[in-house]
Structure 1
Amino acid sequence: MIEIRKEAVFTLAGCEVTPSDNSLNFKNCAQLETGLEGSVSTDKISLQPKFIELLSYLARQYPNVVTREELIESIWEGNSYVGTKALTNAIWNLRKHLTPLVEDSGTEAIETVRKTGYRLLIEPEFKPDDLISKPEVLEVEQAKVKALQEKLHRGGIAIVILFILVGVVGGFHLYQDAKQLMQTEQNRLTRASGAELYPAVSPDGRWLVYGKGSDLYLKDLHSSTGTPKRLTSNRTKELRAIWTLDGKSLLYPSETRQNGECHLSQFILASHEVVHLAPCYSYSSALDISPDGEAIIYIWHDERYEYSGLYELALSGDTDPVRISCKKGCDYRDRDVAYSPDGRWIAISRRFGNISEDIFIRNRGSGDEIRITQGLEDIRGLSWHPDSDKLVFSTENSGVRDGYLVDINSKKISSLSLVGFSYPKFVPNSTELVFSKYIKDFKLAYLELDQVIPTTIFPLSNSEFSHRNPDYSPVTKRIVYVSNETGNNEIWSSDVNGKNRKQHTDLKRRVAYPSWSHDGAKLAFLAPDDKNEGNKIHILDLATGGISILASKYLDHRRPSWSQDDKRVLSSTYDGLLAFSLTNSRPQLITSTEVRLAKMVNGSQIVFTRISKPGLWILDINQADNMRALISSEVFDEDYNWVVTDKGVYFREKHSSYQLINFWSFNTQLITPILKLPSSSLTSYGAMSFIADKRRLLMTLSEYSKRDVILLNHKLLH
């Protein structure tokens, strides 16, 4: 068996790779001597050490496929949380630098083998001196035994050595067998159409409850053919439920469709009786029951306080819920909550701004809190391991959702490597858990408005990566958007046909919501602050490539847009809608109304959507208090999927089973339906933009796979 030294120098198509100084030497590359366009401008370049280490590893394994897990284990010492992003970034950079070597072939230097890993496509050449023999494991052990036998006395000592040899060989095989037995097992528990979310298994392990649509369903896990049963009425809306410790009741928030009243309710399975326990915030609010079964904790927006928060409610006696979280001046929102099995801790997922979210644990005795993570994104579900020392959670990294395990003492995070992992919940008294497999991709899409019969929206480009939130500049004639192609959400742009793409940022952080200035010279966008506890407004100068951050005291800024003269950026904060100057002078408060998205349509008028009220609104900055509804709330209930043109407004209209793209005319003030789409076609957090000279409407297309409940047995959870 032959092994190649880790530090070995090798060549790729005649180009020398030297691991000792992390360099690529292109001096003798045959491909570059022909004068190809785009060839490197210098003979020798230096790369990051991890990039060269990764390239060397792929070269030593040539022509085999190397799994992502093996690369993360070898190059990043098994740190999957860091390694997952770093590996994607390293592959992207290596491909960029090695492109001149494969331009004639029309392929890439490193191939992505879907759902497996990567393979080097250029055959490496090593010097004979770097090739060393590697004996098999048993040969090594036999050599050790022989050497020991020559030095030690015969008799009893030899017998001991024999036992050691047998133990080593036997232990080796037992280890391999155990490793095989601990492979990840996934068992699909539901197979119906639709999204099945917030799964929870009963204490006796027999029943599965989950939410789908606006109802709760119950499935018998002991019956492989049994049909799930709907528990709740179409007069109410429910989505998340938990079990009481005796398994005889379900606790859940329930909202009455007719009047919108929300009650924390108890459903008694034997009698189907529903008992209202307390008011609640919404029918999807997070909640959990204490290990002793005496209290529940949930999120509620009490009218006495400005913000929602965590409340504990004793299940015995006639008591009111007690608020245990921030009451005023809160710069975060609690989004999910779970008691530890030993009753000592409460885990909380907490959002800072609109793109940063992290996990905290709160000591139930002292009320002290400890931050466990830093700079996560969109946590969807967290559940305590039975040992009360670890948490399993779902988070999104630049558009890819996965599951992770975090140790609350060391704060070490390990990846479960399960794409689509969401809303985990441990099975009672078990290291198995259930989760909702929830895979979502985003594509840029367009609708040709001049079609005689509009039929559908078309993807702007086909790619395995997610692209979202387009904005078009009529000056540059380019579309700017967010893409996770490099492993991080970065800003890219393309021409109107999705070609001639260009990457504009390399922040390796979660950028979001790019917006062109009217002159096409700058881009405004959001990105996390230095502490990953919020976001700041960033300005990219296209001419220089420089990025600046606008001065602001606020932790959270909503989607940015530009003033008509491009001297200010509009963004909403908890104080209302403000205009932030590019010179960092004091921002101007336009209105104290809570605004989701605002766009200036001329020198003085702003069109916007509000947080508290549906409808599309308009105001004049000279008379900001005199705002009015441009489109009535009776027909307009959209937050972000709308765009103003010179003739009217295009917007999305949501229904339970479908969506409409509508046009509202300035002249007639009438609404014309343009296209009917499936209910999940356009994401609620998308964006719309308009290409006037092509009569195209740009938007973010949301592509979903089926979402089922999965039972998971994973080696990291044992």
Structure 2
Amino acid sequence: MIEIRKEALFKLGQCEVNPSDNSLNFYDANPDSSIRKVSIQPKFIEVLSYLARQYPKVVTREELIDNIWEGNSYVGSKALTNAIWHLRKQLNQGAGGEQVIETVRKMGYRLLLEPQFNDADLVDEPDLFQLAQFKITRLTLVNRRLALAATLCLTLMAVAWAYHLYQDSIRYVPTVKLNLTTAAGSELYPAISPDGRWLVYGSRGSNRYASLYLKDLQNPAETPKRLTSTKSAEIRAVWSPDGSALYYGSEYRSEDKCYLTKLNLDSNEALKLGECYTYSSAIDIAPDGSRLVYIWDADEGFGSGLYELTLNRDEQPPKRLSCTEDCSYRDRDAAFSPDGSWLAVARRFGNISEDIFLLHTETGEEQRLTFGLEDIRGLSWHQDSERLIFSTENSGVRNGYIVGIDDKQIQSLDVEGMSYPRSIPDSDDVVYSNYMRDYQVASFALEQSIPTATFPLLQVEYSYRNPDYSSVTQRIVYVSNETGFNEIWSSDADGNQRRQHTDLKRRVAYPSWSHDGTKVAFLAPDDKNEGNKIHVLDMQTSNISILATPYLDHNRPSWGWNDEMVLASSKDGITEFYLDNRLPKVISPIDMRLGKMIADDKLVFTQLGKSGLWMLSLTKPSQVSELIGGNHFGEGYNWVATDKGIYFRNSRSGFQLINFWRFNTGLITPILKLPSGSIPRSGAMTYVENRNSLLMTLSQNYKRDVIRLQHKLLY
């Protein structure tokens, strides 16, 4: 049988039908005359071509609608009638008025002229055997495809089921905490060796200085081995990638020197690689062991920052990675990703805001990962190099978190006390130092006939600290995390009649009464969480104002003698900040920690990086005198001035003292002895005149152990 291709060109008398360009070409009998070309709609050509291929059969309307309009009778019926009318109109003109398309009543249509096709457009129609073979082949192919589809579907179902089971296994992974250390002392900065056998950590124990210890996890009953000398201080180390050596900072107090050190574990040989900042400064090593990054101050005038030291190159000096000019932050911690692509950096803005940034090790590209954290206490990468595990202290409580570097979504691990987490090589678990610390305001009565201990102001479970007393209002302001956030509260001298004064839901710190008792100055983060501002709380109206300042960071505020301005340290030195929104005025370039006015012109203060208690006149700020020498006074914040003298904290080896220095004699008298660490370095002290007592911040330390953590969010 012969079949004609759908796109075949054919002739009807003097008309040539070309389906490829939807045209009718009419030729006259005279060969010299021109060709008349008429373009018509594609559907019209399809109808005419179908009738030609079926010639001389009568083609029903239904067959035409099924083949041309895909069975859409609603559209096809009207469209077919319209097509036949237009075709007759064009073809009848070319045929001298003769009918070309005949309507067969109740049947359909057929051509009255025989179409002439080219031989090339005629193809053999397969016989019945060939059709049967074709159908068998096609059915076989269909069956194969169905079988493949079924197999693929079953495979997908199996994969989905397996994934579901895997997700369920993760969802129901219990949170398991395993204590790795049980010895007395405070174990910090844990890190497990690349082969998973050894744990190194720092601990002060009963020694004068902290030391590094090595514990065999395959023999947990064995006593940990001390790795470093008792004459130096070491507390934070990282493993070389092959596990053969440790890198750490080693501080020699007798020499006032700190050395970056490599300890070969096989030979116990310690090599000094260069200078370091402190024995507890951050340090990490690249996954390929080619370089170290660590916090250091190279005395270049830029302050402490992140440096990179290339190993195995003796002549190459460390390279500074932190900024050098107009820096609004300080880099404090760093960690390489396991694939070596990223360096995560903990960056401090001011003294109460900190966030994590990512630095690409190849391109130098930098991106910010977190916004508005408070105090980062360690960071480490997950083994997939796509997530970062870190600890923060928020409103006095430490907890662990995990964040994805792509979606930047932070999820809480809900592990209170997590500090300095470190991923375990080739594992989804982490180790961390368990750090639980509460703060309280304690009262100590002076000049008692019976020896007296400190008494807490409040018998509560939450933390509260940094008191300041006003003799005018006879009330104490302090910071409390009773609501879950550090806010300003006040009470009377007995701890009663408590009131909450702020509801900022972010960290506030270091409240200070004005001398007239009407206002309280304090620090709180700025809107971008990239620094802090001095806030002033009106105790009568509860309104809070922010003092005008061009500075990003401010140290603890205190009031001028007439309460017309607030004194605080900025990057330019001791600065006056005014309540009427005038621009601040720098009165001295001295880097002050904390200052207190003891007269209308006398400022007593401590300095950053310099021991001793100092005094200057606001009218002659260049004339600075030393009240207490640095050999006797090394305190920054835990001191208070009274009419008779200065009460201050004095840290000794294994204990702390509260001393009193008397103005008229210059003598120093110890009045209270406390265990080491009782008064935190960042605490505060105030004097209650009508009760002749001191109020101070005390901390309650629990034992710090190293814990291994299994957690579903780490999978």
Give the TM-score, by structure 2 length. Answer: 0.76
1:703 aligns with 2:700: yes
Structure 2 residue corresponding to 1:243, chosen from 225, 230, 239? 239
1:295 aligns with 2:291: yes
CA spacing shift, 1:172–1:558, aligned 2, 3 Å: closer
Given that residues 287 and 340 in structure 2 are in contact (C-alpha distance below 8 angstroms), is that contact kept between their aligned partners in structure 1? yes
Structure 2 residue corresponding to 1:593, chosen from 590, 596, 605? 590
Matched with 2:504 is: 507
1:456 aligns with 2:453: yes
1:566 aligns with 2:563: yes
Letter in 1 for 2:464: H
1:265 aligns with 2:256: no
Deviation at 1:181, TM superposition (A): 5.2
Letter in 1 for 2:173: M
Given that residues 334 and 344 in structure 2 are in contact (C-alpha distance below 8 angstroms), is that contact kept between their aligned partners in structure 1? yes
In 1, the alpha carbon distance for the partners of 2:394 and 2:188 equals 20
Deviation at 1:265, TM superposition (A): 0.5
In 2, the alpha carbon distance for the partners of 1:370 and 1:255 equals 34
Q: How many residues align?
A: 557
1:424 aligns with 2:421: yes
1:268-417 alignment to 2 at 5 Å?
268-318=264-314, 319-417=316-414
Deviation by residue 1:379-414 (Cα, 9 ceiling, x = unmatched):
010000111111000001211110000011110000
In 2, the alpha carbon distance for the partners of 1:262 and 1:234 equals 15
In 1, the alpha carbon distance for the partners of 2:174 and 2:668 equals 56
In 2, the alpha carbon distance for the partners of 1:626 and 1:491 equals 36
What percentage of residue pairs aligned between the two structures are identical? 57
In 2, the alpha carbon distance for the partners of 1:498 and 1:252 equals 46
1:519-534 alignment to 2 at 5 Å?
519-534=516-531
Matched with 2:471 is: 474
Given that residues 181 and 707 in structure 2 are in contact (C-alpha distance below 8 angstroms), is that contact kept between their aligned partners in structure 1? yes
Query: What 5-or-longer segments of structure 1 have no aligned partner?
Result: 1-162
Given that residues 448 and 454 in structure 1 are in contact (C-alpha distance below 8 angstroms), is that contact kept between their aligned partners in structure 2? no
SS of alignment partner, residue 376 of structure 2? coil
Deviation by residue 1:236-293 (Cα, 9 ceiling, x = unmatched):
1111000111111110011112111111100111111110112111111111110111
Deviation by residue 1:535-557 (Cα, 9 ceiling, x = unmatched):
00001111111111001000000
Deviation at 1:431, TM superposition (A): 1.1
Deviation by residue 1:85-119 (Cα, 9 ceiling, x = unmatched):
xxxxxxxxxxxxxxxxxxxxxxxxxxxxxxxxxxx
Deviation at 1:173, TM superposition (A): 11
In 1, the alpha carbon distance for the partners of 2:347 and 2:560 equals 33
Given that residues 512 and 527 in structure 1 are in contact (C-alpha distance below 8 angstroms), is that contact kept between their aligned partners in structure 2? yes
SS of alignment partner, residue 531 of structure 1? coil
Deviation at 1:194, TM superposition (A): 1.8
Given that residues 515 and 559 in structure 2 are in contact (C-alpha distance below 8 angstroms), is that contact kept between their aligned partners in structure 1? yes
1:191 aligns with 2:182: yes
1:605 aligns with 2:596: no
Given that residues 306 and 332 in structure 2 are in contact (C-alpha distance below 8 angstroms), is that contact kept between their aligned partners in structure 1? no
Deviation by residue 1:624-670 (Cα, 9 ceiling, x = unmatched):
11111101111111010000001111111001210001111112111
Structure 2 residue corresponding to 1:657, chosen from 654, 657, 665? 654
In 1, the alpha carbon distance for the partners of 2:714 and 2:604 equals 51
CA spacing shift, 1:172–1:210, aligned 2, 3 Å: closer
Given that residues 658 and 680 in structure 1 are in contact (C-alpha distance below 8 angstroms), is that contact kept between their aligned partners in structure 2? yes
In 2, the alpha carbon distance for the partners of 1:552 and 1:284 equals 34
Higher CA-based Rg: 2
Matched with 2:251 is: 255
SS of alignment partner, residue 362 of structure 1? strand
CA spacing shift, 1:702–1:368, aligned 2, 3 Å: same
In 2, the alpha carbon distance for the partners of 1:174 and 1:565 equals 71
SS of alignment partner, residue 178 of structure 1? helix
Deviation by residue 1:399-435 (Cα, 9 ceiling, x = unmatched):
1110000011110000000000000011111111110
Matched with 1:446 is: 443
Structure 2 residue corresponding to 1:646, chosen from 635, 643, 646? 643
Given that residues 336 and 344 in structure 2 are in contact (C-alpha distance below 8 angstroms), is that contact kept between their aligned partners in structure 1? yes
In 1, the alpha carbon distance for the partners of 2:163 and 2:573 equals 65
Deviation by residue 1:209-254 (Cα, 9 ceiling, x = unmatched):
1111221111111112111111111221111000111111110011
Matched with 1:210 is: 201
In 2, the alpha carbon distance for the partners of 1:175 and 1:428 equals 22
Query: What 5-or-longer segments of structure 2 have no aligned partner?
Result: 1-153, 205-209
1:689 aligns with 2:686: yes
In 2, the alpha carbon distance for the partners of 1:362 and 1:487 equals 33
Deviation at 1:570, TM superposition (A): 0.2
> Which range moves more in the overlay, 443-452 or 644-653?
443-452
Deviation at 1:175, TM superposition (A): 7.9
In 1, the alpha carbon distance for the partners of 2:451 and 2:245 equals 50
SS of alignment partner, residue 682 of structure 1? coil
Given that residues 171 and 712 in structure 2 are in contact (C-alpha distance below 8 angstroms), is that contact kept between their aligned partners in structure 1? no
Deviation at 1:622, TM superposition (A): 1.6
1:233 aligns with 2:226: no
1:182 aligns with 2:182: no
Matched with 1:200 is: 191
Letter in 2 for 1:199: P
Given that residues 388 and 405 in structure 2 are in contact (C-alpha distance below 8 angstroms), is that contact kept between their aligned partners in structure 1? yes
In 2, the alpha carbon distance for the partners of 1:344 and 1:179 equals 27
Letter in 2 for 1:489: N
In 1, the alpha carbon distance for the partners of 2:363 and 2:653 equals 45
SS of alignment partner, residue 696 of structure 2? strand
Root mean square deviation, CA, Å: 2.1
Deviation at 1:588, TM superposition (A): 2.1
Letter in 2 for 1:671: I
Given that residues 307 and 330 in structure 1 are in contact (C-alpha distance below 8 angstroms), is that contact kept between their aligned partners in structure 2? no
In 2, the alpha carbon distance for the partners of 1:548 and 1:689 equals 25
In 2, the alpha carbon distance for the partners of 1:687 and 1:453 equals 26
Letter in 2 for 1:239: I
In 2, the alpha carbon distance for the partners of 1:559 and 1:664 equals 23
Structure 2 residue corresponding to 1:715, chosen from 680, 697, 712? 712
Matched with 1:82 is: none
Deviation at 1:366, TM superposition (A): 1.6
SS of alignment partner, residue 625 of structure 1? coil
Deviation at 1:174, TM superposition (A): 5.8
Given that residues 602 and 618 in structure 2 are in contact (C-alpha distance below 8 angstroms), is that contact kept between their aligned partners in structure 1? yes
In 1, the alpha carbon distance for the partners of 2:185 and 2:397 equals 20
SS of alignment partner, residue 515 of structure 1? strand
CA spacing shift, 1:224–1:474, aligned 2, 3 Å: same
CA spacing shift, 1:558–1:474, aligned 2, 3 Å: same
SS of alignment partner, residue 693 of structure 1? helix
In 2, the alpha carbon distance for the partners of 1:179 and 1:585 equals 58
Letter in 2 for 1:388: S
Given that residues 635 and 648 in structure 2 are in contact (C-alpha distance below 8 angstroms), is that contact kept between their aligned partners in structure 1? yes
Letter in 2 for 1:189: L
Deviation at 1:454, TM superposition (A): 3.1
1:575 aligns with 2:572: yes
CA spacing shift, 1:570–1:429, aligned 2, 3 Å: same
Deviation at 1:305, TM superposition (A): 3.0
